[in-house]
Amino acid sequence: MRRGSLAALALGLLALAAPAVAEERLAGLGSFEFQAGPYQPMIDSEFPDATPPVRPWKDTFGTSRRWMFKLHGAKALVRGYGTLELGGGIGYLSATGHGRFADTTVSLEKTGFRLVPLSLDLTYRVDPVWERLGIPLVPFARVTLIRDLWWVTGAGGKASKSGATDGWTWGGGLALVLDFIDPSLARELDRDSGIKHTMLVVEVAQTTVRDFESASTKTPKSWDLSNDGPMLTFGFLFAF
């Protein structure tokens, strides 16, 4: 709860800070990004002391991480010393495993987990590193509110279960501006399509997705869809 309040507060402060730098000229339209990163929820962490061990996620879907794919769009709000963007995204993750019989042996029946994360975020990009210093690297920081929509499909066509879990993330990363490889091609791309910059992006984020319940919550009602560790995401970004 406390962490959730802090997240909302941080997001609000970032938004309210916008007018302070709004006196600078407005930037371009914004950006569009394809993202992908390995993900594994912390659902099994709900049963730390169970005997025998209870690991529904790992027993069903295995220990390897699943790739989550996202589309992210952002609108540039202001541009001063850097760019502040308000963005939103939608993603998809699918995991399929095998159900188990009552004696815990593995069956051939399939069971699945589908996740569609919706996000609303504020991103601050330090563009001057590239624009003024000429170094093709753009650091950025991002705070995100998340709603994870999820569906569980039962073995053998049994009725599925669905729900939504809220959370937030904070993190940052580095974008490599690809324009420096061929500036003339970059200018041609700008003229033809309006894409001003293309970037390869690496982001590291700390995710907390458990309906804003903290470890001290007395009777938690949500499972933990936070990533098992900092989430590493790779992206390809087009800035307009």
Partner 1 sequence: MIRRLALIVALLSPVSALAQAAGTVVLTPSAFGPSDCTSTTTSVNLSWTSSGTFLAGDTFSVYVAMSQNCPASATPTPTGTLLATGLVAASASGTYPVTGTLTRKDFLDKAGVVACGASTIHVCVQHWTGSGTGLSVKGTATGSADLVVSPASIPVNVTVAPGESALFVSWADGTDSAVPAVSYNVTAVSSTPPETHTANFNGRTNQRLSGLTNGVTYAVTVTSVSAGGIESQPSVGVVTGTPQAVNGFWEQYTAGEHREQGGCSGGQAGLISLLGVALALRGLRRRS
Q: Which residues are at the interface with partner 1 (CB under 8 A)?
A: 1, 4-5, 7-8, 11-12, 14-19, 22, 43, 46-47, 50, 54, 56-57, 59-61, 77-78, 86, 97, 99-102, 107-109, 111-113, 120, 122, 145, 147, 152-158, 160-166, 189, 192, 211-213, 220-223
Cβ contact 83:124 at 8 Å:
yes
Residue with Cβ nearer partner 1 (50 or 71): 50
Q: How far is the CB of 21 from partner 1 (least distance, A)?
A: 9
Residue with Cβ nearer partner 1 (137 or 155): 155
Residue with Cβ nearer partner 1 (158 or 187): 158
CA angle 27, 32, 36 (to 5 degrees): 140
Residue with Cβ nearer partner 1 (13 or 200): 13
Q: In whole angstroms, what is the distance from residue 32 CA to residue 156 CA?
A: 39
- Helix, strand counts (H, E) of the chain: 4, 8
Q: How far is the CB of 181 from partner 1 (least distance, A)?
A: 16
Count the Cβ atoms, other than its own, within 10 Å of residue 158: 12
Residue 160 tokens, joined: 């599925």
Cβ contact 205:175 at 8 Å:
no
